[in-house]
Amino acid sequence: MPITKKPAADFPMRGADAIGIREVGFWSVLIVAIAFWANIVRGTGPAELPGVDSMAAGVLENGAFDVFAWILVFARAARMFEAGPASWRRISATFLVGVIALAPVRLAAGVAFVILGGSLLWDRRALAAGRQVGLVLLALAFETVWTSRFLAQPHLLAGQGDAKITAFLLGLLHTEAASHANIVDNLSANFSISVWPYCASSFPLAGVGLAFLVMLLYLDQAPRRRHLVWLGMSFIGSFLLTEVRLVLLATSQASYFWWHNGPGVSIYAVAALALAVVFPILATWETGTAGTPPGDRLVA
Amino acid sequence: MKTLLRCGFVALIVLSVAIQLTHGRRGSADSDPLAALAAGLERLNVRTGRPAAGDILTGHAPSCQQPLQAMLLRIDGADDGRMRGLRPDGGAARYIYLGAVTEQPNRAVILGRWVEASVLFTVGLRATRPQSLLVLVVLPRACPDLAALEWATLSPAD
Protein backbone atom coordinates (compact mmCIF):
# COMPACT_ATOMS: atom_id res chain seq x y z
CA MET A 1 0.00 0.00 0.00
CA PRO A 2 1.59 3.30 -1.02
CA ILE A 3 2.37 5.66 1.78
CA THR A 4 1.04 9.13 1.09
CA LYS A 5 2.50 12.07 2.95
CA LYS A 6 -0.17 14.36 4.30
CA PRO A 7 0.72 17.94 3.40
CA ALA A 8 1.28 20.22 6.35
CA ALA A 9 -1.33 22.92 6.89
CA ASP A 10 0.13 26.09 5.41
CA PHE A 11 -2.87 28.41 5.80
CA PRO A 12 -2.30 30.31 2.53
CA MET A 13 -3.56 33.88 2.28
CA ARG A 14 -6.78 34.27 0.29
CA GLY A 15 -8.14 37.08 -1.84
CA ALA A 16 -6.79 39.62 -4.25
CA ASP A 17 -4.81 41.39 -1.53
CA ALA A 18 -2.73 38.29 -0.75
CA ILE A 19 1.02 38.80 -0.90
CA GLY A 20 3.02 36.40 -3.07
CA ILE A 21 5.34 33.80 -1.51
CA ARG A 22 8.14 34.85 -3.86
CA GLU A 23 7.94 38.42 -2.59
CA VAL A 24 7.88 37.29 1.05
CA GLY A 25 10.89 35.06 0.38
CA PHE A 26 12.78 37.99 -1.09
CA TRP A 27 11.87 40.21 1.90
CA SER A 28 13.09 37.55 4.34
CA VAL A 29 16.48 37.35 2.62
CA LEU A 30 16.74 41.15 2.38
CA ILE A 31 15.95 41.63 6.08
CA VAL A 32 18.59 39.18 7.33
CA ALA A 33 21.15 40.41 4.78
CA ILE A 34 20.81 44.02 5.89
CA ALA A 35 21.03 43.04 9.58
CA PHE A 36 24.15 40.96 8.84
CA TRP A 37 25.97 43.65 6.87
CA ALA A 38 24.88 46.49 9.16
CA ASN A 39 26.52 44.58 11.99
CA ILE A 40 29.73 44.24 9.99
CA VAL A 41 30.05 47.81 8.74
CA ARG A 42 28.99 49.55 11.93
CA GLY A 43 31.59 51.72 13.63
CA THR A 44 33.31 50.90 16.87
CA GLY A 45 34.39 54.43 17.75
CA PRO A 46 32.81 55.91 20.85
CA ALA A 47 31.30 58.96 19.21
CA GLU A 48 31.30 58.96 15.47
CA LEU A 49 29.32 57.01 12.91
CA PRO A 50 31.36 54.63 10.73
CA GLY A 51 33.17 56.25 7.84
CA VAL A 52 33.25 54.86 4.31
CA ASP A 53 36.81 53.60 4.86
CA SER A 54 35.94 51.62 7.97
CA MET A 55 32.80 50.25 6.29
CA ALA A 56 34.84 49.05 3.31
CA ALA A 57 37.48 47.61 5.64
CA GLY A 58 34.78 45.75 7.59
CA VAL A 59 33.38 44.23 4.40
CA LEU A 60 36.82 43.22 3.10
CA GLU A 61 37.93 41.76 6.41
CA ASN A 62 34.87 39.58 6.39
CA GLY A 63 36.16 37.81 3.33
CA ALA A 64 35.51 37.83 -0.38
CA PHE A 65 33.49 34.65 -0.25
CA ASP A 66 30.90 36.18 2.07
CA VAL A 67 30.34 38.80 -0.62
CA PHE A 68 30.18 36.10 -3.32
CA ALA A 69 27.77 34.10 -1.14
CA TRP A 70 25.40 37.04 -0.80
CA ILE A 71 25.59 37.80 -4.53
CA LEU A 72 24.60 34.18 -5.14
CA VAL A 73 21.77 34.42 -2.58
CA PHE A 74 20.34 37.57 -4.16
CA ALA A 75 20.70 36.16 -7.67
CA ARG A 76 18.35 33.37 -6.59
CA ALA A 77 16.22 35.20 -4.01
CA ALA A 78 13.42 36.11 -6.41
CA ARG A 79 12.87 32.53 -7.62
CA MET A 80 13.12 30.56 -4.41
CA PHE A 81 9.46 29.49 -4.53
CA GLU A 82 6.89 28.51 -7.09
CA ALA A 83 4.38 31.30 -7.79
CA GLY A 84 1.39 31.63 -5.49
CA PRO A 85 0.13 33.31 -2.37
CA ALA A 86 2.30 33.26 0.72
CA SER A 87 1.25 31.18 3.67
CA TRP A 88 0.79 32.73 7.09
CA ARG A 89 3.52 30.37 8.31
CA ARG A 90 6.01 31.84 5.83
CA ILE A 91 5.00 35.40 6.75
CA SER A 92 5.33 34.61 10.48
CA ALA A 93 8.74 33.03 9.88
CA THR A 94 9.87 36.18 8.05
CA PHE A 95 8.83 38.39 10.94
CA LEU A 96 10.43 35.98 13.42
CA VAL A 97 13.84 36.05 11.70
CA GLY A 98 13.53 39.82 11.32
CA VAL A 99 12.91 40.30 15.05
CA ILE A 100 15.78 37.93 15.98
CA ALA A 101 18.16 39.76 13.63
CA LEU A 102 17.36 43.04 15.42
CA ALA A 103 19.63 42.02 18.31
CA PRO A 104 22.91 43.91 17.90
CA VAL A 105 24.97 40.74 18.20
CA ARG A 106 26.33 38.98 15.16
CA LEU A 107 25.25 35.62 16.54
CA ALA A 108 21.63 36.77 16.30
CA ALA A 109 22.04 36.96 12.53
CA GLY A 110 23.43 33.40 12.71
CA VAL A 111 20.30 32.18 14.49
CA ALA A 112 18.14 33.97 11.90
CA PHE A 113 20.13 32.24 9.11
CA VAL A 114 19.54 28.83 10.70
CA ILE A 115 15.77 29.39 10.93
CA LEU A 116 15.46 30.84 7.44
CA GLY A 117 17.88 28.39 5.82
CA GLY A 118 16.28 25.40 7.56
CA SER A 119 12.79 26.51 6.57
CA LEU A 120 13.88 26.88 2.93
CA LEU A 121 15.27 23.34 2.89
CA TRP A 122 12.15 22.00 4.56
CA ASP A 123 9.49 23.98 2.65
CA ARG A 124 7.54 21.87 0.11
CA ARG A 125 7.05 24.89 -2.13
CA ALA A 126 10.74 25.79 -2.29
CA LEU A 127 12.37 25.32 -5.68
CA ALA A 128 15.97 24.26 -6.32
CA ALA A 129 17.10 27.90 -6.06
CA GLY A 130 15.40 28.15 -2.66
CA ARG A 131 17.18 25.05 -1.38
CA GLN A 132 20.51 26.43 -2.62
CA VAL A 133 19.86 29.68 -0.76
CA GLY A 134 18.95 27.63 2.32
CA LEU A 135 22.26 25.75 2.13
CA VAL A 136 24.26 28.97 1.76
CA LEU A 137 22.44 30.56 4.71
CA LEU A 138 23.20 27.52 6.87
CA ALA A 139 26.88 27.71 5.84
CA LEU A 140 26.91 31.44 6.69
CA ALA A 141 25.35 30.63 10.07
CA PHE A 142 28.04 28.04 10.75
CA GLU A 143 30.76 30.51 9.79
CA THR A 144 29.18 33.16 12.05
CA VAL A 145 29.23 30.81 15.03
CA TRP A 146 32.67 29.38 14.24
CA THR A 147 34.31 32.80 14.08
CA SER A 148 32.46 34.25 17.06
CA ARG A 149 34.20 35.23 20.27
CA PHE A 150 32.37 32.37 22.01
CA LEU A 151 34.63 29.91 20.21
CA ALA A 152 37.80 31.94 20.72
CA GLN A 153 38.95 29.57 23.48
CA PRO A 154 38.95 26.44 21.26
CA HIS A 155 40.78 28.41 18.57
CA LEU A 156 43.27 29.46 21.23
CA LEU A 157 43.84 25.76 21.99
CA ALA A 158 44.29 25.07 18.28
CA GLY A 159 46.80 27.95 18.29
CA GLN A 160 48.86 26.05 20.85
CA GLY A 161 49.12 23.17 18.41
CA ASP A 162 50.02 25.60 15.63
CA ALA A 163 52.76 27.08 17.81
CA LYS A 164 54.26 23.60 18.33
CA ILE A 165 54.09 22.83 14.59
CA THR A 166 55.62 26.20 13.70
CA ALA A 167 58.52 25.64 16.11
CA PHE A 168 59.01 22.18 14.61
CA LEU A 169 59.01 23.54 11.05
CA LEU A 170 61.47 26.28 12.02
CA GLY A 171 63.68 23.52 13.42
CA LEU A 172 63.58 21.77 10.04
CA LEU A 173 64.80 25.03 8.51
CA HIS A 174 67.82 24.95 10.87
CA THR A 175 66.38 27.75 13.02
CA GLU A 176 66.52 27.25 16.76
CA ALA A 177 62.95 27.63 18.01
CA ALA A 178 60.74 26.59 20.90
CA SER A 179 57.07 26.90 21.77
CA HIS A 180 55.18 27.32 25.01
CA ALA A 181 51.43 27.83 25.15
CA ASN A 182 50.58 30.02 22.12
CA ILE A 183 54.06 31.52 21.83
CA VAL A 184 56.65 30.61 19.22
CA ASP A 185 60.13 31.70 20.31
CA ASN A 186 62.56 32.06 17.44
CA LEU A 187 65.71 31.75 19.54
CA SER A 188 68.04 32.28 16.59
CA ALA A 189 66.48 35.67 15.76
CA ASN A 190 65.65 36.57 19.38
CA PHE A 191 62.06 37.10 18.28
CA SER A 192 58.74 35.60 19.27
CA ILE A 193 55.15 35.63 18.05
CA SER A 194 51.90 34.79 19.77
CA VAL A 195 49.26 32.79 17.87
CA TRP A 196 45.93 34.50 18.47
CA PRO A 197 42.58 32.77 17.94
CA TYR A 198 42.13 34.66 14.64
CA CYS A 199 45.51 33.39 13.39
CA ALA A 200 44.98 29.75 14.38
CA SER A 201 44.65 27.16 11.63
CA SER A 202 41.16 26.21 12.85
CA PHE A 203 39.76 29.72 12.45
CA PRO A 204 39.40 29.92 8.63
CA LEU A 205 37.93 26.41 8.21
CA ALA A 206 34.28 27.51 8.27
CA GLY A 207 35.12 30.14 5.65
CA VAL A 208 36.81 27.46 3.56
CA GLY A 209 33.66 25.33 3.79
CA LEU A 210 31.50 28.28 2.76
CA ALA A 211 33.82 29.07 -0.15
CA PHE A 212 33.68 25.44 -1.28
CA LEU A 213 29.87 25.42 -1.22
CA VAL A 214 29.55 28.78 -2.98
CA MET A 215 31.96 27.71 -5.73
CA LEU A 216 30.06 24.44 -6.23
CA LEU A 217 26.79 26.33 -6.59
CA TYR A 218 28.35 28.87 -8.96
CA LEU A 219 29.48 25.88 -11.04
CA ASP A 220 25.87 24.59 -11.06
CA GLN A 221 26.74 21.50 -9.05
CA ALA A 222 24.54 20.08 -6.34
CA PRO A 223 26.60 19.18 -3.23
CA ARG A 224 27.16 15.42 -3.14
CA ARG A 225 28.84 13.00 -0.76
CA ARG A 226 31.84 12.49 -3.05
CA HIS A 227 32.59 16.22 -2.78
CA LEU A 228 33.43 15.66 0.90
CA VAL A 229 36.85 14.26 -0.09
CA TRP A 230 37.67 17.49 -1.91
CA LEU A 231 36.28 19.53 0.95
CA GLY A 232 38.65 17.64 3.26
CA MET A 233 41.52 18.45 0.91
CA SER A 234 40.49 22.12 1.03
CA PHE A 235 40.74 21.98 4.81
CA ILE A 236 44.20 20.38 4.61
CA GLY A 237 45.31 23.02 2.10
CA SER A 238 44.07 25.81 4.36
CA PHE A 239 45.83 24.23 7.36
CA LEU A 240 49.14 23.96 5.49
CA LEU A 241 48.86 27.54 4.24
CA THR A 242 48.33 28.78 7.80
CA GLU A 243 51.39 26.88 9.04
CA VAL A 244 53.54 28.31 6.23
CA ARG A 245 52.28 31.80 7.11
CA LEU A 246 53.10 31.31 10.80
CA VAL A 247 56.62 30.13 9.93
CA LEU A 248 57.11 33.25 7.78
CA LEU A 249 55.74 35.46 10.57
CA ALA A 250 58.08 33.90 13.13
CA THR A 251 61.20 34.18 10.98
CA SER A 252 62.15 37.71 12.07
CA GLN A 253 60.57 40.99 13.08
CA ALA A 254 61.00 42.43 9.57
CA SER A 255 59.39 39.34 8.09
CA TYR A 256 56.59 39.59 10.64
CA PHE A 257 55.71 43.16 9.62
CA TRP A 258 55.95 42.30 5.92
CA TRP A 259 53.60 39.31 6.22
CA HIS A 260 51.33 40.71 8.93
CA ASN A 261 50.91 44.36 7.96
CA GLY A 262 52.63 44.76 4.59
CA PRO A 263 52.30 43.35 1.07
CA GLY A 264 52.41 39.83 2.48
CA VAL A 265 48.81 40.21 3.62
CA SER A 266 47.65 40.49 0.01
CA ILE A 267 49.83 37.56 -1.07
CA TYR A 268 48.36 35.39 1.69
CA ALA A 269 44.82 36.49 0.79
CA VAL A 270 45.37 35.65 -2.90
CA ALA A 271 46.87 32.25 -1.99
CA ALA A 272 43.90 31.47 0.28
CA LEU A 273 41.48 32.59 -2.42
CA ALA A 274 43.24 30.45 -5.04
CA LEU A 275 43.06 27.40 -2.77
CA ALA A 276 39.37 28.03 -2.13
CA VAL A 277 38.69 28.16 -5.88
CA VAL A 278 40.91 25.30 -7.03
CA PHE A 279 39.48 22.46 -4.93
CA PRO A 280 35.81 22.97 -5.89
CA ILE A 281 36.85 23.17 -9.55
CA LEU A 282 38.78 19.91 -9.19
CA ALA A 283 35.76 18.38 -7.46
CA THR A 284 33.38 19.37 -10.26
CA TRP A 285 35.89 18.41 -12.94
CA GLU A 286 36.04 14.93 -11.46
CA THR A 287 32.23 14.82 -11.38
CA GLY A 288 32.03 15.91 -14.97
CA THR A 289 34.39 13.23 -16.26
CA ALA A 290 32.84 10.42 -14.23
CA GLY A 291 29.19 11.34 -14.52
CA THR A 292 28.70 12.65 -18.06
CA PRO A 293 30.70 10.80 -20.71
CA PRO A 294 31.20 12.68 -23.97
CA GLY A 295 28.67 12.01 -26.70
CA ASP A 296 31.09 9.94 -28.81
CA ARG A 297 31.99 7.53 -25.99
CA LEU A 298 30.02 4.35 -25.44
CA VAL A 299 29.65 2.78 -22.02
CA ALA A 300 30.28 -0.95 -21.90
CA MET B 1 -3.05 43.65 3.97
CA LYS B 2 -0.31 43.47 1.37
CA THR B 3 0.71 47.08 2.03
CA LEU B 4 0.60 46.53 5.78
CA LEU B 5 2.93 43.55 5.50
CA ARG B 6 5.34 45.49 3.29
CA CYS B 7 5.35 48.34 5.82
CA GLY B 8 6.15 45.79 8.53
CA PHE B 9 9.11 44.41 6.54
CA VAL B 10 10.47 47.90 5.85
CA ALA B 11 10.08 48.82 9.54
CA LEU B 12 12.13 45.76 10.51
CA ILE B 13 14.91 46.80 8.13
CA VAL B 14 14.98 50.41 9.36
CA LEU B 15 14.91 49.32 13.01
CA SER B 16 17.66 46.79 12.40
CA VAL B 17 20.02 49.37 10.83
CA ALA B 18 19.24 51.91 13.58
CA ILE B 19 19.94 49.41 16.38
CA GLN B 20 23.17 48.17 14.82
CA LEU B 21 24.56 51.68 14.32
CA THR B 22 23.54 52.82 17.80
CA HIS B 23 25.17 49.76 19.37
CA GLY B 24 28.37 50.49 17.46
CA ARG B 25 28.66 53.78 19.30
CA ARG B 26 28.37 52.12 22.69
CA GLY B 27 31.34 52.73 25.01
CA SER B 28 34.46 51.06 23.74
CA ALA B 29 38.15 51.58 24.34
CA ASP B 30 39.67 54.98 25.02
CA SER B 31 40.29 56.92 21.84
CA ASP B 32 43.77 57.94 23.07
CA PRO B 33 45.14 55.14 25.26
CA LEU B 34 48.44 56.93 25.87
CA ALA B 35 46.61 59.98 27.26
CA ALA B 36 44.52 57.64 29.41
CA LEU B 37 47.75 56.04 30.71
CA ALA B 38 49.20 59.47 31.56
CA ALA B 39 45.96 60.37 33.36
CA GLY B 40 46.14 57.08 35.29
CA LEU B 41 49.70 57.83 36.39
CA GLU B 42 48.62 61.29 37.55
CA ARG B 43 45.92 59.63 39.68
CA LEU B 44 48.71 57.60 41.33
CA ASN B 45 50.45 60.91 42.04
CA VAL B 46 53.11 60.29 39.39
CA ARG B 47 53.90 63.40 37.36
CA THR B 48 54.50 62.69 33.69
CA GLY B 49 56.00 64.71 30.87
CA ARG B 50 55.59 64.42 27.11
CA PRO B 51 56.02 60.91 25.73
CA ALA B 52 59.56 60.19 24.50
CA ALA B 53 60.48 58.27 21.34
CA GLY B 54 58.60 55.00 21.09
CA ASP B 55 55.71 56.49 23.11
CA ILE B 56 57.51 55.88 26.40
CA LEU B 57 56.18 57.98 29.26
CA THR B 58 58.62 59.07 31.96
CA GLY B 59 57.16 59.92 35.35
CA HIS B 60 58.30 61.07 38.77
CA ALA B 61 56.76 59.96 42.05
CA PRO B 62 57.15 62.34 45.02
CA SER B 63 58.81 59.65 47.12
CA CYS B 64 61.50 58.81 44.56
CA GLN B 65 64.09 60.88 42.80
CA GLN B 66 64.66 58.31 40.07
CA PRO B 67 62.19 58.40 37.16
CA LEU B 68 59.93 55.50 36.27
CA GLN B 69 58.93 54.57 32.74
CA ALA B 70 55.61 53.41 31.34
CA MET B 71 54.49 52.29 27.92
CA LEU B 72 51.67 50.46 26.13
CA LEU B 73 52.38 47.16 24.41
CA ARG B 74 50.16 45.03 22.21
CA ILE B 75 49.15 41.90 24.06
CA ASP B 76 50.11 39.68 21.11
CA GLY B 77 53.76 40.70 21.54
CA ALA B 78 53.95 42.21 18.07
CA ASP B 79 55.65 45.39 19.27
CA ASP B 80 57.85 43.96 22.01
CA GLY B 81 60.80 45.37 20.09
CA ARG B 82 59.80 48.81 21.37
CA MET B 83 60.93 47.74 24.83
CA ARG B 84 64.49 48.34 23.61
CA GLY B 85 63.71 52.03 24.11
CA LEU B 86 63.53 51.50 27.86
CA ARG B 87 66.48 52.27 30.13
CA PRO B 88 69.06 49.48 29.92
CA ASP B 89 69.48 49.53 33.71
CA GLY B 90 65.71 49.40 34.20
CA GLY B 91 64.48 48.07 37.48
CA ALA B 92 61.49 45.93 38.32
CA ALA B 93 58.91 45.52 35.59
CA ARG B 94 55.16 45.42 36.19
CA TYR B 95 52.85 44.18 33.46
CA ILE B 96 49.28 45.39 33.99
CA TYR B 97 46.29 44.07 32.08
CA LEU B 98 42.60 44.13 32.98
CA GLY B 99 43.20 44.63 36.69
CA ALA B 100 45.98 42.04 37.05
CA VAL B 101 49.58 43.05 37.85
CA THR B 102 52.39 40.58 37.12
CA GLU B 103 56.15 40.71 37.01
CA GLN B 104 56.38 38.59 33.84
CA PRO B 105 54.33 38.92 30.64
CA ASN B 106 52.51 35.59 30.60
CA ARG B 107 50.97 35.89 27.13
CA ALA B 108 48.80 32.80 27.39
CA VAL B 109 47.16 34.06 30.59
CA ILE B 110 46.77 37.55 29.11
CA LEU B 111 45.17 36.16 25.93
CA GLY B 112 42.83 34.04 28.04
CA ARG B 113 41.75 37.13 29.97
CA TRP B 114 41.21 39.03 26.71
CA VAL B 115 39.04 36.19 25.35
CA GLU B 116 37.00 36.07 28.56
CA ALA B 117 36.46 39.84 28.61
CA SER B 118 35.57 39.86 24.91
CA VAL B 119 32.90 37.22 25.42
CA LEU B 120 31.48 39.12 28.38
CA PHE B 121 31.40 42.30 26.26
CA THR B 122 29.66 40.50 23.42
CA VAL B 123 26.88 39.18 25.63
CA GLY B 124 26.46 42.57 27.30
CA LEU B 125 27.90 41.62 30.71
CA ARG B 126 30.82 44.01 30.29
CA ALA B 127 30.43 47.70 29.48
CA THR B 128 33.60 48.23 27.47
CA ARG B 129 35.40 46.27 24.79
CA PRO B 130 38.72 44.98 26.27
CA GLN B 131 41.78 46.76 24.98
CA SER B 132 44.43 44.83 23.14
CA LEU B 133 47.13 46.86 24.90
CA LEU B 134 48.81 46.09 28.19
CA VAL B 135 50.67 48.58 30.36
CA LEU B 136 54.34 48.03 31.15
CA VAL B 137 55.79 50.06 34.03
CA VAL B 138 59.51 49.89 34.86
CA LEU B 139 60.16 50.93 38.46
CA PRO B 140 63.55 52.27 39.54
CA ARG B 141 65.58 49.85 41.65
CA ALA B 142 66.31 52.60 44.16
CA CYS B 143 62.64 52.94 45.15
CA PRO B 144 61.17 49.52 46.01
CA ASP B 145 58.28 51.20 47.86
CA LEU B 146 56.77 52.19 44.50
CA ALA B 147 55.81 48.54 43.97
CA ALA B 148 53.12 49.00 46.60
CA LEU B 149 51.17 51.53 44.52
CA GLU B 150 47.80 50.46 43.04
CA TRP B 151 49.19 49.81 39.55
CA ALA B 152 46.08 47.84 38.62
CA THR B 153 44.22 51.13 38.19
CA LEU B 154 46.22 51.76 34.99
CA SER B 155 44.31 48.91 33.31
CA PRO B 156 41.14 48.36 35.30
CA ALA B 157 39.26 45.06 35.24
CA ASP B 158 36.03 46.72 34.03
- pLDDT band with cut points at 50, 70 and 90 for residue B51: low
Q: Once rounded to an integer, what is the mean pLDDT over residues B11-38? A: 73
Q: Of A78, A113, A146, which marks where a domain is finished?
A: A146
Measured CA to CA, the distance from residue B108 to residue A160 in angstroms comes to: 9
Q: Of A104, A126, A146, which marks where a domain is finished?
A: A146
Residue A203 lies in a domain: yes
Q: Are residues A113 and A184 in the same domain?
A: no
Residue A4 lies in a domain: no
- pLDDT band with cut points at 50, 70 and 90 for residue A66: confident
Residue A119 lies in a domain: yes
Q: Are residues A216 and A123 in the same domain?
A: no
- Give chain A's domain count: 2
pLDDT higher than 90, residue A227: no
Q: What is the ipTM of this complex?
A: 0.72
pLDDT tens figures, B56-113:
888 888 888 888 888 888 887 666 666 666 655 567 888 899 888 888 877 778 888 8
Indicate the residue of B6, B21, B107 with minimum beta-carbon distance to A49. Answer: B21
Instruction: Inspect the interface and report whether the beta carbons of A104 and B22 lie closer than 8 Å.
Output: yes
Residue A7 lies in a domain: no
Q: Chain B residue closest to A261 (CA)?
A: B78
The enclosing H or E element of B32 equals none
Q: Are residues A140 and A159 in the same domain?
A: no
Q: Are residues A203 and A127 in the same domain?
A: no
Least confident of A74-88, A133-147, B27-41, B101-115: B27-41
Q: Greater confidence, A84 or B23? A: A84
Q: Are residues A49 and A99 in the same domain?
A: yes
Q: Are residues A278 and A154 in the same domain?
A: yes
Q: Are residues A96 and A173 in the same domain?
A: no
Would an 8 Å CB–CB cutoff place B156 in contact with chain A? no
Measured CA to CA, the distance from residue B96 to residue A158 in angstroms comes to: 26
Q: Are residues A160 and A288 in the same domain?
A: yes
Q: Of A87, A112, A146, which marks where a domain is finished?
A: A146
Alpha carbon distances (Å) from A288 to A7, A267, A277, A291, B73: 36, 31, 17, 5, 54
Residue A107 lies in a domain: yes
Q: Chain B residue closest to A106 (CA)?
A: B122
pLDDT higher than 50, residue B129: yes
pLDDT tens figures, B115-128:
888 777 766 677 77
Indicate the residue of A19, A50, A150 with minimum beta-carbon distance to B5. Answer: A19
Q: Are residues A233 and A274 in the same domain?
A: yes
Residue B127: phi and psi, rounded to 5, are -75, -35
Indicate the residue of B20, B118, B119 with minimum beta-carbon distance to A104. Answer: B20
Q: Sheet containing A191-194: which strands, arranged edge to edge?
A: A177-180, A183-186, A191-194
Residue A25 lies in a domain: yes
- pLDDT band with cut points at 50, 70 and 90 for residue A275: confident
pLDDT tens figures, A234-252:
999 999 999 999 999 998 8
Q: Are residues A243 and A276 in the same domain?
A: yes
Task: List, in order, residues 6 or more apart from B20 with CB less than 8 Å away.
Answer: A35, A38, A39, A42, A104
Residue A261 lies in a domain: yes
Tell me which amino acid residue B103 is.
Answer: E
Residue A132 lies in a domain: yes
What global pTM score does this model have?
Answer: 0.71
Least confident of A136-140, A146-150, A230-234, A252-256: A146-150
Q: Greater confidence, A263 or A8? A: A263
Tell me which residue range forms the domain holding A178.
150-296
Q: Are residues A247 and A262 in the same domain?
A: yes
Would an 8 Å CB–CB cutoff place A153 in contact with chain B? yes
Instruction: Inspect the interface and report whether the beta carbons of B21 and A50 lie closer than 8 Å.
Output: yes
- pLDDT band with cut points at 50, 70 and 90 for residue A72: very high
pLDDT higher than 60, residue A33: yes
Q: Are residues A108 and A162 in the same domain?
A: no
Instruction: Inspect the interface and report whether the beta carbons of B111 and A193 lie closer than 8 Å.
Output: no
